[in-house]
């Protein structure tokens, strides 16, 4: 009898080949081993170790605060779980803006940490960076629309592409990224008509977040999807669990049990045999006299 085949990890070319196959791609963010195991156990196609790490895990107000080393630390934690899903490492702000050489080194740092592809934000402006990374044989995922690394330039976390000129620029950027060789493109917070236009214009999968249904896949942030992050509720987030409320309730009950003397019970305690307990008691009596 043939040995059972281990599932082969998803690759960037696998994702690229899914364009137009009728089954939407599923990507979710994860930042550590437990979240990666949960996401991979659910059978997602891709795990994005996103720079949203800065906001949902590290407590910053924007994504500009994380470095390549921070990202590599979290990519490595995800990679140690050996997921079947493709691991995409997010290149943080300033890691691909300074020079070709720095761009390539930073992308390689994420690959050495365990990513099998990297993502970067921006369109035609970033073609040099995309080309430099592709030249080192690292697959690149693009990211257009609301690009959080540009919040100061675009004036905040706002839907992009409501005006004709911006919508056109997004389509042109997407075509340029696809022609340059990106294997997929994230579209964040764009009207559905713009997402449809982009999806029809490029021959690589589009992965939407706040981009409606006319895309080739969807991505959500782990903490939003599971209700761990409830301070902001963007319209496009669907919460499939209320884990923050559940966790708070659980820890409240733990605190009550401790304070009321109900925790730990005898079953949750290590015991010694009666004769040893007796000897320990005698020892206590001997040392206290």
Per-residue interface string for the shown chain with ligand KIV, residues 179-198, x marking contact by CB under 6 A: -------x-x----------
221 binds ligand KIV (CB under 6 A): yes
Distance CA 41, CA 86 (A): 13
Return the bridge partners of 26, or none: 218
188 carries an active-site annotation = yes
Q: Is 89 among the residues that bind ligand KIV (CB under 6 A)?
A: no
52 scored as a contact of ligand KIV (CB under 6 A): yes
- Nearest approach, Cβ of 177 to ligand KIV (angstroms)? 15
Is residue 206 a contact residue for ligand KIV (CB under 6 A)?
A: no
219 near ligand KIV, rule: CB under 6 A: yes
3-state helix, strand, coil in the chain (%, to 5): 45, 10, 40
Angle at 67 between CA 111 and CA 143, to 5 degrees: 65
**Which one of the spans 47-55, 69-77, 157-165, 239-247 is the region binding ligand KIV (CB under 6 A)?**
47-55
Alpha helices in 116-242 (DSSP H): 127-135, 151-154, 164-180, 192-201, 222-225
The DSSP line for 207-229 is EEESS-SSSSEEEE-HHHHTTS-
| Residue list 258-277, contact with ligand KIV (CB under 6 A) | none
* 50 binds ligand KIV per the rule CB under 6 A: yes
* From 121, 188, 242, 256, active-site residue: 188
Q: What kind and span of H or E run contains 71?
A: helix 68-79
Q: Which residues are catalytic?
A: 188
**Interface residue list for ligand KIV (CB under 6 A):** 29, 48, 50-52, 90, 143, 186, 188, 209, 219, 221
């Amino acid at each position: 009898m043939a040995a059972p085949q281990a599932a082969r990890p998803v690759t960037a070319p696998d994702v690229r080949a899914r364009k137009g196959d009728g089954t939407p791609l599923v990507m979710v963010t994860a930042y550590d081993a437990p979240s990666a195991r949960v996401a991979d156990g659910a059978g997602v196609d891709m795990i994005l170790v996103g720079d949203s790490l800065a906001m949902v895990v590290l407590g910053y107000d924007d994504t500009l605060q994380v470095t390549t080393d921070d990202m590599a630390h979290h990519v490595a934690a995800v990679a140690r779980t050996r997921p079947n899903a493709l691991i995409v490492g997010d290149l943080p702000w300033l890691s691909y803006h300074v020079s070709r050489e720095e761009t390539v080194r930073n992308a390689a740092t994420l690959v050495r940490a365990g990513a099998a592809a990297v993502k970067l934000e921006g369109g035609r402006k970033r073609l040099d960076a995309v080309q430099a990374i592709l030249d080192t044989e690292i697959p690149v995922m693009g990211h257009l629309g609301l690009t959080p690394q540009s919040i100061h330039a675009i004036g905040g976390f706002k839907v992009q592409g409501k005006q004709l000129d911006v919508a056109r620029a997004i389509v042109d950027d997407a075509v340029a990224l696809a022609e340059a060789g990106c294997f997929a493109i994230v579209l964040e917070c764009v009207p559905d008509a713009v997402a449809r236009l982009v999806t029809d214009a490029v021959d690589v999968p589009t992965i939407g977040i706040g981009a409606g249904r006319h895309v080739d896949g969807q991505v959500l942030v782990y903490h939003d999807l599971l209700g761990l992050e409830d301070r902001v509720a963007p319209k496009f987030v669907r919460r499939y669990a209320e884990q923050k409320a559940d966790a708070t309730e659980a820890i409240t009950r733990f605190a009550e049990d401790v304070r009321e003397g109900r925790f730990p019970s005898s079953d949750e305690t290590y015991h010694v045999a009666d004769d040893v307990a007796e000897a320990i008691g005698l020892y206590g009596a001997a040392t206290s006299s």
